[in-house]
Structure 1
Amino acid sequence: MTAVGVIRGTTTDRRVVLPLLRRLRSPEGQANPLPVWDELRALGDVVPAPWGGYFVTGFDACNEVLRGRNWLVPDFAWQERRPDPARWQDPATREMTRTLSRLNPPAHTAQRRALGNLFDRGTLAELRPRVAAHVTRLLDRLALQLRVHGEADFVATVGDQLPIHTVGHWLGIPEGHYPHILDFTHRQVHAQELVPTKSELAVSAQATREMRAYFTGLLAYRRAHPGDDVLSGWIRFWDAQYPDDRAAADQTLYDLTMFITIASLETTATLLTNVAWFLTRDPARADWLRRHPEHVDDAIDEVLRYDPPIHLNSRFAAADTVLAGVPVAKDTTVHVLYGAANHDPRRNPASHVFDIRRKGGHLTFGGGLHYCLGSVLARLEARLLLTELLERFPTLRPAAAPTYANRMVFRRITSLKVTT
C-alpha cells in the first residue's frame, strides 16, 4: 500500500506508454479517451514517461502534486537547468513561461495579490446580466440557423463565441477584434503540447507575433484613452508599481492581459460544447435536468469531471521526494493526467458512468497556488447557457459526434453539429 492505495503493476519500461500516447492523439482517442486513461492508470499511479519524468494517473497522487508546495511549475529557472535548453527557446514557449501559469513564488504571489479576487461576488453580479444577454443573443443565432438550415454548428455559433464575448466585454475589447483573437489563440496553443513538432512550433511562433502585436497595441491605445474599465485600472496600478520603469510595467500588463484573455477562451469553449454534447445526446437526461434545474451545477461538475478540457499539466519536484511510493529526484518533471485522475474508481466509483447526481470529485480546475483563476466565471457561463438552452431547445440533439483537434494537452472541439 501507498498513500494513494495499491499501485497496480507499476512499469519500469518507459516505452510502454508510447502507443497509448499515440492513441490519445488519434481520432479514436480524441472521441473516447477513457480506455486510454484506464490503460495508463493500470500501469500505476506514477508511470515513467518516454522522455524522462513521469505521468501521474491516480486521483490522490495528482491531487498531491497540484496542491503540494514541493511541486513547482516549469519556469525559466527550471528551463535553464535542462540539458537541452534550446528546446525552450521557441518564442511561443517563452511567451507563455512569463505568464501566471508558469510563475512560482515569489513572482507568482506578487501578481496574484495584485490581481486580488478577479471574479468575486460583486464582479460576478455585475457580469451576470451581460453574460446572460450574450447567451440569449447567441442562442437567437442558433435558433435562426436551425430554422433556416435544419442544423447548426454549436461550436462556431455558441461554444467559441460566448467566452470571447464575455472576457472581451469585461476588458473593453472591441467586438470586431474577436475573430482575430480566436484565430491566433487556436494557433498559438501548439507550443504547449508535450512534444511539439517543428511545424507546430512555427505556427505557434507566427501566432505569438500576432498576439504580441495585438495586445501591445491594445494596451497602448487604452493608455492613451483611459477609462473606468478593468484594463485601465490595471494600467494605473502597474504604472504605480513601476513609476520609473515603464518597460517593466508594460511587460507585466502585456503578460497579464494576454494570458487572462486567451486562457478564458479554448478551455471554456470546450466546457460549453461538452455541456451541450453530454446533456442533449441523451433525451431522457436532458428532460430530467429540465424538470430538476436545481441540479444544473451538478451537471456542469459532472461534465468537468467526465471530460476535462485539459488532458494534462506539468510540474517538477522542488526537492528529492517520493510520490505514491516512487522516488522522484529534484527537478524531475511529472505530468498530471486530469482525465485519468477524474476517472479513478478509488475516488469516483463507476467512474465511466455519466451521473449528474454523482457528487463526485474532480481536479479539472487544478489546485493549490495555480487553481484556475477563471473557474467561477466559466461556471457562470456554463450555468446560464445550459439553463437557457434547456428552456428554449427542448428537442435539441446532436446531428453527429463532435470532431476534435489533434492534440494531447489542450482539448478542443472543432465542430458539433446539432439539430432539432
Structure 2
Amino acid sequence: MGDLVPAPWGGYLVTGYDACNQVLRGRTWLVPDFAWQERQADTERWQAVATQEMSRTLHRINAPEHTRQRRSLGNLFDRHTLQAMAPDIEADVAGLLDHLAERISEDGEADLAALVSERLPINTVGRWLDIAPEDYAHILEITHNQVYAQELLPTKSQLAISEAATFQLRRYFTGLVQERRENPGDDVVSGWIRTWDALESDRAATDRIVYHLIMFLTIASLEATGTLLSSMVWSLLRSPGSWDWLRARPEHVDDAVEEALRYDPPTRFNSRVAGEDTVLSGVLVPKDTMVHVMYGAANHDPRRNPDPHTFDILRKGSHIAFGGGAHYCIGAGLARLEARTLLSQLLRRFPTLRAVSPPEYASRMVFHRVTSLRVAA
C-alpha cells in the first residue's frame, strides 16, 4: 500500500523501514505533547485523566525538557549496571523456571506468560527501585490497566479503566517518592531525588518529576519486556527446527533475541506529529499532522530484511523495535539481558519444550501483550 498510508481517522500510517527511521530520528518530528494536544478538536480524548498523566512522562515530552530529563538519568543501564544486575536476574530466572517445571510435572502443561514472562520484569524493576516484593502483583495489575490510555483509539470504557489505574499508580508512586525523601538511601529513587534537588529550587517540582520518571520506566519495562519474553519463545517454537538448532549453538542466543525483536516487536507502533510542513516519502505532511510509525511493518520491509516473514536466527538484519533518535528505548539493554538470560536457561533446562497452543493476546494494538502461552516439555 506504500510507505505512507492515509489512516481512516486522519493522519498516516508509516510502514516502510526508511520512512519510519526518518520519522523516529528526524528533529522536525515531535511527540504529541501538551502544546499539540491543546490544538486538537478531540478534547475528550486528550483531556482524559490517564492521557494527561502520561503526557507528563519522558516519552511524551519534547526538547528542551526531554533533553534535560534524559541527561539527568545518564546512561541508566550501562555495562557496569547490567553486570551488577545479572546475577540477580540469573537467580530469578532459575527460580521461576523451577516453578514452571513443577507445574508442567503436575499438570502436564503450564502458562509460560503468567508464571515466567510477566514475573521476571516486575522482579527486576521492583528490586532495582527497591519496592516491597509483596506489592509486585498489585503494580503489575494496575500497569496492565493503565496502558489502555496509550491505545490508538481508546474507547470510553478503556479510558475509564485507565483512569482508575492511573489514580492507583499515582497514589503508590508518590507515596514511594515521599518515603524516599524522608528516608533517603543508596537506591535509584533516592539518587534521582538528590539529582533533581540540585536542579530544581522547588522540592515539590522535584518530587513530581521523579514520580513521573518512576511511573514511565515501570510501565515501559513491564509491558514491553514481558511480551518480548513470551513472543521470543513462541517465535522459536513455531519455527520448525529452531529450538533444537539453537540448543546446539547457544552462542547464537543474542542473534535469536534480535530476530525475535524484529519478527514480532512487543510494541506495534508509536505516534509522532509533524513539527512543520514536511515531505515524507514524496508526500507533503502538513504541520501538526499525526503519523503512526508501524514498527512491525517496518521490520518486515523486504527492502531492509529479505524474506521478512521467515524467522531466521542468522539473519543479522535491522529492526526498530526499540524506536530511534532522542526517544530510543532507555531500557533496551536491560530488556536484552532479561531475554538472553531466560532463553539461555530455557534451552538448557527444557530441551523438548513445545507450545500446547498459540499465545493469547490482550485486546490492544500498541503494547501487544501476550496474556497466555501454554507450554509442555
Q: So what's the TM-score if we normalise by structure 1?
A: 0.88
The answer to whether the 8 A contact 2:23-2:272 is kept is yes
1:147 CA drift (Å): 1.3
Deviation string 1:373-411 (CA, Å, 9 cap, x unpaired) is 000000000001100100011011111110011111110
Partner of 1:366 in structure 2?
323
User: Alignment partner of 2:258: what SS?
Assistant: helix
Q: How do 1:237-276 residues align onto structure 2 when only pairs under 5 Å count? A: 237-243=195-201, 245-276=202-233
Residue 368 of structure 2 corresponds to residue 411 of structure 1? yes
After the TM superposition, list the runs of 4 or more consecutive aligned residues in structure 1 that deviate by more than 6 angstroms: none
Q: How do 1:352-391 residues align onto structure 2 when only pairs under 5 Å count? A: 352-391=309-348
1:239 CA drift (Å): 2.0
Partner of 1:12 in structure 2?
none
Which of 154, 157, 160 is the aligned partner of 1:196? 154
Deviation string 1:264-312 (CA, Å, 9 cap, x unpaired) is 0011000000122122334621111011111111101111111111111
Partner of 2:55 in structure 1?
97
Residue 19 of structure 2 corresponds to residue 61 of structure 1? yes
Partner of 1:137 in structure 2?
95
> Amino acid of the residue matched to residue 287 of structure 1?
D
> Amino acid of the residue matched to residue 155 of structure 2?
T
Deviation string 1:338-390 (CA, Å, 9 cap, x unpaired) is 11111111111101011000111111100000000000000000001100100
Unaligned runs of 5+ in 2: none
1:85 CA drift (Å): 3.1
Unaligned runs of 5+ in 1: 1-42
Deviation string 1:294-336 (CA, Å, 9 cap, x unpaired) is 1111101111111111111000111111100011001111001
Which of 78, 91, 96 is the aligned partner of 2:36? 78
User: CA–CA distance in 1 between the matches of 2:317 and 2:233?
Assistant: 20
1:263 CA drift (Å): 0.9
Identity of aligned residues (%): 64
* Number of residue-to-residue matches in the alignment: 377
Residue 72 of structure 2 corresponds to residue 114 of structure 1? yes
User: Alignment partner of 2:76: what SS?
Assistant: coil
Residue 264 of structure 2 corresponds to residue 279 of structure 1? no
User: CA–CA distance in 1 between the matches of 2:293 and 2:108?
Assistant: 42
Partner of 1:345 in structure 2?
302
Which of 211, 215, 221 is the aligned partner of 2:169? 211
User: CA–CA distance in 1 between the matches of 2:58 and 2:193?
Assistant: 17
Which of 238, 251, 259 is the aligned partner of 1:294? 251
Residue 304 of structure 2 corresponds to residue 324 of structure 1? no
> Amino acid of the residue matched to residue 328 of structure 1?
V
User: CA–CA distance in 2 between the matches of 1:59 and 1:165?
Assistant: 34
Which of 220, 241, 255 is the aligned partner of 2:178? 220
Indicate the RMSD between aligned Cα atoms, in angstroms: 1.0
Q: So what's the TM-score if we normalise by structure 2?
A: 0.98
1:83 CA drift (Å): 2.6
Partner of 2:114 in structure 1?
156
User: CA–CA distance in 2 between the matches of 1:177 and 1:83?
Assistant: 39
User: Alignment partner of 2:322: what SS?
Assistant: coil
1:217 CA drift (Å): 1.1
1:51 CA drift (Å): 1.8
User: CA–CA distance in 1 between the matches of 2:147 and 2:215?
Assistant: 13
1:227 CA drift (Å): 1.3
User: CA–CA distance in 2 between the matches of 1:65 and 1:411?
Assistant: 22
